[in-house]
C-alpha cells in the first residue's frame, strides 16, 4: 500500500540532499539544481545508468513502487558512485513512490524536461485500463510538470498498449508527436529500446519493440 510512503506537501519542502548529496548540502534545501528528468517505473535502473553520462549536468530520478527493486537500484547507484571518484553517477538517484499519485508534490509546474515511461505494466483487462500509467487525466498532470518543449518518451513490447498510448497522447491538446525520422539524432532512443532490463529481455526473446515520443507544446488557450 501507499500508506507508508513519505512525500512532501509541496515541492519546496522536499529535501533532496539524501538523493543527490554532491549537489545538495544537508543543512539546506537550497541548490541551483533541480530534478529535470524522470524515469517513471524505472525497474532495475538500466536507463538511469545509461543516461547519467549523457546528461552530466542534469539531475535524473527513477521512480519505483516496489521496495525491493528500489533497494536494488539504490545499491547499484551507490556502487557506481563509489567506483567513480569523479562526479559520474552523482546525478542519478531513485525514489520509492507511487508515480500515479504524488508527482505534483515533488515537482513544480514546468520543472521537467524529459519523462520516460518504458515498458509499463500493460494491465490488459479492460477493467484494469484505469491503472495504466498513460491515461487522459495523468497526461494532463504530465503536461503540467513538463516545460514547453519538454519530451515524453514511451516504449513497450505490447502492440495493444502502444496503440493505446499513441491514441491517448495524440488526443491530448498539450502533446504533439515527434515523427520517428526526426528522432534519429536523439541519443535517448537507443537507450529507451536497449538499456532497460525489460528492453533487454524483449530483445533476448526476439520480441517487437514499439516507441512513441511526444513534445509538450504551448497551451493554445494561454
Ligand atoms: N522501465 C523498466 C524497464 O523498462 O526495465 C521497468 C519496466 S516494469 C514492466 C514496470 C515497472 O513499473 C515495475 O518495476 C513496477 O514496479 C513499476 N511501477 C508500476 N506502477 C508504478 C507506480 N504507480 N509508480 C512507480 N512505479 C510503478
Q: Is the pTM of this model over 0.90?
A: yes
Cα-to-centroid distance, 117 and ligand 1 (Å): 9
For 123-175, how does the pLDDT look when each residue is reduced to its tens digit (9 = 90+)?
999 999 999 999 999 999 999 999 999 999 999 999 999 999 999 999 999 99
Query: Exposed, middle or buried by CB within 10 Å (0-12, 13-18, 19+), for 178?
Result: middle
Residue to substitute in 61, 74, 98, 121 for testing ligand 1 pocket (most ligand atoms within 8 angstroms of CB): 121
For 42-67, how does the pLDDT look when each residue is reduced to its tens digit (9 = 90+)?
999 999 999 999 999 999 999 999 99
Regarding the beta carbon of 42 and ligand 1, being less than 6 Å apart is answered yes
Indicate which atom in ligand 1 lies nearest the CA of residue 63. Answer: 25
Residue having the nearest C-alpha atom to atom 15 of ligand 1:
41
Cα-to-centroid distance, 15 and ligand 1 (Å): 24
Answer yes or no: is pLDDT of 31 > 80.
no
Spell 19-37 as b/e; 16+ CB within 10 A means b: bbeebbeeeeeeeeeebbb
Query: Cα separations (Å) of 182 from 55, 93, 163, 167, 193?
Result: 20, 30, 20, 20, 16
Q: Interior CA angle at 56 toward 90 and 77, to 5°?
A: 30
User: What residues are annotated to the active site?
Assistant: 121
Tell me what ipTM this predicted complex has: 0.99
Indicate which atom in ligand 1 lies nearest the CA of residue 201. Answer: 5
Regarding the beta carbon of 157 and ligand 1, being less than 6 Å apart is answered no
Cα distance between residue 135 and residue 175, in whole Å: 13
Amino acid at each position: 500500500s501507499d500508506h507508508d510512503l513519505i512525500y512532501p506537501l509541496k515541492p519546496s519542502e522536499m529535501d533532496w540532499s539524501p538523493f543527490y548529496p554532491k549537489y545538495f548540502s544537508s543543512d539546506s534545501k537550497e541548490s541551483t539544481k533541480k530534478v529535470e528528468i524522470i524515469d517513471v517505473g524505472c525497474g532495475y535502473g538500466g536507463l538511469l545508468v545509461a543516461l547519467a553520462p549523457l546528461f552530466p549536468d542534469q539531475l535524473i530520478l527513477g521512480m519505483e513502487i516496489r521496495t525491493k527493486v528500489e533497494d536494488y537500484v539504490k545499491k547499484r547507484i551507490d556502487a557506481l558512485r563509489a567506483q567513480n571518484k569523479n562526479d559520474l553517477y552523482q546525478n542519478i538517484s531513485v525514489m520509492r513512490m507511487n508515480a500515479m499519485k504524488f508527482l505534483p508534490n515533488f515537482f513544480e509546474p514546468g520543472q521537467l524536461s524529459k519523462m520516460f515511461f518504458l515498458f509499463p505494466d500493460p494491465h490488459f483487462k479492460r477493467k484494469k485500463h484505469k491503472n495504466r500509467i498513460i491515461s487522459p487525466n495523468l497526461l494532463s498532470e504530465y503536461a503540467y510538470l513538463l516545460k514547453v518543449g519538454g519530451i515524453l518518451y514511451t516504449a513497450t513490447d505490447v502492440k495493444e498498449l502502444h496503440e493505446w498510448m499513441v491514441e491517448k497522447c495524440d488526443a491530448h491538446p498539450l502533446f504533439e508527436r515527434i515523427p520517428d525520422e526526426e528522432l534519429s539524432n536523439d541519443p535517448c532512443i537507443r537507450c529507451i529500446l536497449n538499456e532497460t532490463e525489460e528492453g533487454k529481455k524483449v530483445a533476448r526473446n526476439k520480441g517487437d519493440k514499439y516507441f512513441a515520443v511526444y513534445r509538450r507544446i504551448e497551451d493554445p488557450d494561454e
